[in-house]
Structure 1
Amino acid sequence: MKVSGKVALVTGGSRGIGLATAKDLAENGVTVVMTAKNSERLRQSTRDIPNCIGIAADIRNKDDVKMVVGKTIERYGRLDILVNNAGIFPKIKQLHDIEEEEWKEVLDVNLTGSFRFTKESIPHLQKTEGCIINISSDAGLKAYQGFNADAYSASKAALILLTKCWALEYAKNRIRVNCICPGVVDTDMTKPFLKTRTDKEFMDKEHPIGRIGQPEEIAKAVRYFASDDAAWVTGAILTVDGGESVK
């Protein structure tokens, strides 16, 4: 999967899937810019990754987003790959218990944040005939009994449809737009689900293949979509979920 020589921007890159993606791309010859809100964690995350820098920014702030994309172009002169990975997960609540501010924050980060970075990146991706990879979720594909995270599910479902919209909208510019829908992956964000051995065993059994995923497994899927091997792939929605979505 040839990606060497490209420049990538990864949002939410300081941990979990974003960090694994940054490492995988960098180890395969990509120059990586990671962005996240926590500057100290970002600094620690980039320290041991070759060809990688971190730029702290708040995805909810359009001026921060412009700054990150601008600094990427100023430093490297191009942008080939945008990975819209940043996201937050709310506390599990039924709809009637969700405060409006909680709802707004989840959509602002998970959905509008991806819109902001895509909007700022498009002019530069047009020049390189680059690609966009959106990280959605199985929760955006189907409803799960007892999974009361409506704002999260809504944001991830919207990102799936936006992938298809953007793929059609920018195909004439040779910009490819694809989406990955992970199942439960072992990250900081899923730790509330995995607090006890019992919970971990339950979540493993929920996936037909017998276990939850690892961030590195999602990163490999990102690298495929970013590679020249996927030059004729756009508008694709790829589940990487141990079979969870086909149950």
Structure 2
Amino acid sequence: MGTAKNISKPFALILGGSKGLGLATAKKLAAEKYPLIILHRDLAIDLEQVEIAFEEIREIAPAFYSFQTDALNPLRRKEQIEKIKTLLGSSGRVGVVIHSIAKGNLKRMLPEGSEKSLSAEDLRITADAMAFSLYQWVQELNLAGTLASDTRVIAFTSEGSSRVLPSYGAVGVAKAALQALVRQMAVEFAPVGIKVNCIQAGVTLTDSFHKIPGSDKLAAYSLKRNPNNRLTQPEDVANATYLLCRPEASWITGNILIADGGEHLI
């Protein structure tokens, strides 16, 4: 579960914090002395490695709680928010919400051979996971009274939201929907002090990226495009996320911040 030490900052809640961008962000925020709550859903075979990563966080975070749960299940979401309220007590609040859930379908619209084609249900499931769940979590956390008055909500998107990538149709639609949600949420949640932004990361060699068909070719092409002659690292995205969490970023909301070393310019 976790530990508790001296806490001077509001909690950061990371949805999908056991790998990739979510884990890198967790490590960065822990180093900056944010207490953390991480929700993750991993296969049993991966849990040992996840726990090793979490132990590193546990050593430096002022408080750390992790839950292996399905953050996309409406019933589990309600149960988890109740657990969070109990952890926070009467005075604690969540001041950072990071959405790093990666669950998407990578089927083609015109399949090859015996492959199945992308269906409307595939589109819905992907958009529910990678876009709509952001709104559902923020809405319910706000209704439960668990969010701080200057909460920062940050989600991760990709260049595929506006460009065609192989087998990326469902994820691209979800990322475009996510960006539209971020803009709408930034305006409608502004009266209660919630700031909502999105970070567009460059191609990053995460587990999710490697699942994309032709990911090796995509990585090579992105490396060739990048003026800094390297691919984006999870730590690059974590650093950008932290910038949006700082007090100085309190007037930034509704934006898509590109953190790719200039890759999108070429």
1:194/1:93 CA distance change after superposition, 3 Å: closer
1:78-108 CA-partner distances (Å, limit 9, x unpaired): 1111111112243252367213332232112
Number of residue pairs matched? 243
The residue aligned with 2:80 is: 68
Q: 2:93 aligns with which of 72, 78, 83?
A: 78
1:95/1:156 CA distance change after superposition, 3 Å: farther
Q: Distance in 2 between matches of 1:95 and 1:189?
A: 22
The residue aligned with 2:167 is: 148
The residue aligned with 1:128 is: 149
The residue aligned with 1:209 is: 228
1:54/1:95 CA distance change after superposition, 3 Å: farther
Q: TM-score, normalised by structure 2?
A: 0.82
Does 2:93 match 1:93?
A: no
Q: Distance in 1 between matches of 2:110 and 2:137?
A: 29
Q: 1:47 aligns with which of 41, 45, 55?
A: 55
**Counterpart AA for 2:82:** G
**Counterpart AA for 1:128:** S
Give the 3-state SS of the residue equivalent to 2:57 in structure 1. Answer: coil
Q: 1:28 aligns with which of 32, 36, 43?
A: 32
- Gap regions ≥5 residues in structure 1: none
Does 2:176 match 1:176?
A: no
Q: Report which of the two has the higher share of helix.
A: 1
Compute the displacement of 1:154 (Å).
0.8
Compute the displacement of 1:203 (Å).
3.2
**Counterpart AA for 1:218:** V
Compute the displacement of 1:162 (Å).
1.0
Moved more, 16-25 or 146-155: 146-155
**Counterpart AA for 1:31:** P
Look at both structures and tell me which one has the larger radius of gyration over its CA atoms: 2
Q: TM-score, normalised by structure 1?
A: 0.88
Q: CA RMSD in A?
A: 2.5
